[in-house]
Structure 1
């Protein structure tokens, strides 16, 4: 299907067809702006992408999970995830893309804490009711209008619309993904997950993250368990294993190279770590998953 590259390239918004590298929203009319070398091979995007699909049936993969686009469905991805578009079928809808830099103001920084951007459950797809579709389409069309005409204060207006859109999507996300009865105030969990995203290749122990947060490992473990339903070490292992699966599936790095990239000095320990998580060796996972894909 494709040649597994020695690394997973990352593309900017402008390289992916956007007008600039900060923000873009457009109506999808069945044509593609991306070069085939981007959407037919494994890659990451350095921006958030939110897509309201009205018609279309393309098959694509996000983090080794296959999806076939469905009408009246909302798709969303974050910068660190790995994409492969398997079939380039025409799609009608609205595509919204923006970067962390666009969220750099104090007000917009608050948006980064919303569930649809944090994506703690690693989801990619939201199912919509007719009312959801109408609301999202109306809001996004207003954003398209602002972005095209660029009247006075259009950036402020776009940020306001984006704020509303992400809150609405986060409500849907919480309904469809989040474990019930989690504590509403999850400040420490958010700080921990942010640190984990930055440091998962260096720190594999709860004590290291507790040190970065200036609290005890026991307190961190208790709070994370209460606020997420999973222990802190489960979060750490899950993040490392996710990246391991990405590298095994999408690249031709050796097991030793992958182990080193993820912070393991001993490849044999990485093999045991991976097998505890997935009940198979890294090599067995790579072989079986690529057979499934092809």
Structure 2
């Protein structure tokens, strides 16, 4: 990062909030970070690998990643330095503030939509202005700085959520007009996962409810999401597990049981497989911690 401004924990360089511009090599290898990451692409294009999928993203665009979500960004010729924003759930928890910002399930933690939105030029100008306000406020310590940064962050996320929601609505309208039976099956599968993911972990049960073979369902999820039916169920379970780990003080055993796992250790292995970290380490890295914060500037 160049001229990166960071708000960190006391006596630590662990960041709670940071903002700046990237260098060419940032995110060029598979990355997992213990905080939310927002990347603004203003010129050119990139190849994005997120989870199991590969996307080609053209500027202007915003990319967004949840804590410990694996991603990699390969910049193409003509791409300018990317603007990058990080914030820890301790600084701003999207779940606690869902009613205010509504970005959970739109920008972050959406199994069925790409983790980015391509913008119009007008939308890009709006977000660039808010980004500049955050950067300017971060560059020098003033009275109630954190409160103002939080306000700017909320405004940025609200605008981006609106743009992404508008984009999703347009895509869904196009799907509805096409009347593709594949899309109907996948929409029903999405709804059923949301309703039954705690009780039903087996994809064959969902296939039976949908009146399709498991092989057919697998072909559809592979084609449209580059995931297996089981991947999508597990990702929804892990999403809920993360929420419990950083919003509650429930034990891993309690969380596992609440999510339909009889074996706490199997749940922990599954969690580590999906996040590359253990439930306890995830809680330690991301879990709620009302620590005081200080500002550090890096160059």
How many equivalent pairs are there? Answer: 191
1:214-249 Cα deviation digits (max 9, x unpaired): xxxxxxxxxxxxxxxxxxxx99861327999xxxxx
Q: 2: distance between equivalents of 1:61 and 1:105?
A: 24
* Deviation (angstroms), 1:151: 1.7
Q: Tell me, which stretches of 5 or more residues in structure 2 are unaligned?
A: 9-14, 177-189, 204-227, 239-265, 272-299
Structure 2 residue aligned with 1:162, among 147, 153, 157? Answer: 153
* Deviation (angstroms), 1:63: 1.2
Structure 2 residue aligned with 1:96, among 85, 92, 95? Answer: 85
Q: 1: distance between equivalents of 2:17 and 2:117?
A: 22
Is the 1:139–1:165 contact (alpha carbons within 8 Å) kept by the matching residues of 2? Answer: yes
Q: Helix, strand or coil for the counterpart of 1:45?
A: coil
Q: 2: distance between equivalents of 1:165 and 1:60?
A: 22
* Partner residue, 2:269: 261
Is the 2:44–2:80 contact (alpha carbons within 8 Å) kept by the matching residues of 1? Answer: yes
* Partner residue, 1:72: 60
Is the 1:73–1:125 contact (alpha carbons within 8 Å) kept by the matching residues of 2? Answer: yes
Q: 2: distance between equivalents of 1:97 and 1:167?
A: 16
* Partner residue, 2:139: 148
Q: Helix, strand or coil for the counterpart of 2:131?
A: helix
Is the 2:5–2:18 contact (alpha carbons within 8 Å) kept by the matching residues of 1? Answer: no
Closer, same or farther in 2 for the Cα pair 1:87/1:105, shift >3 Å? closer
* Deviation (angstroms), 1:86: 4.4
Q: 2: distance between equivalents of 1:241 and 1:115?
A: 15
Q: 2: distance between equivalents of 1:135 and 1:27?
A: 18
* Deviation (angstroms), 1:107: 6.8
Closer, same or farther in 2 for the Cα pair 1:239/1:73, shift >3 Å? same
* Deviation (angstroms), 1:88: 8.1
1:4-50 Cα deviation digits (max 9, x unpaired): xxxxxxxxx9xx9966421011134x455x5xxxx444332111111
Higher relative contact order (CA 8 A, sep 6+): 2
Q: 2: distance between equivalents of 1:105 and 1:139?
A: 18
Counting only pairs closer than 5 Å after superposition, residues 102-181 of structure 1 correspond to structure 2 as 102-104=91-93, 108=97, 110=99, 111=101, 113=104, 115-177=106-168, 179=172
Q: Helix, strand or coil for the counterpart of 1:116?
A: coil
C-alpha RMSD of the superposition: 4.5
Counting only pairs closer than 5 Å after superposition, residues 23-62 of structure 1 correspond to structure 2 as 23-28=17-22, 30-32=23-25, 34=26, 39-62=27-50
Q: 1: distance between equivalents of 2:141 and 2:6?
A: 16
1:179-221 Cα deviation digits (max 9, x unpaired): 569xxxxxxx9xx96x96xx89xx7279xxxxxxxxxxxxxxx
Q: Tell me, which stretches of 5 or more residues in structure 1 are unaligned?
A: 1-12, 182-188, 207-233, 245-257, 264-294
TM-score, normalised via structure 1 length: 0.51
* Partner residue, 1:289: none
Is the 1:114–1:170 contact (alpha carbons within 8 Å) kept by the matching residues of 2? Answer: no
Q: 1: distance between equivalents of 2:105 and 2:136?
A: 25
Closer, same or farther in 2 for the Cα pair 1:105/1:172, shift >3 Å? closer
Is the 1:53–1:74 contact (alpha carbons within 8 Å) kept by the matching residues of 2? Answer: yes
Q: 2: distance between equivalents of 1:205 and 1:98?
A: 35
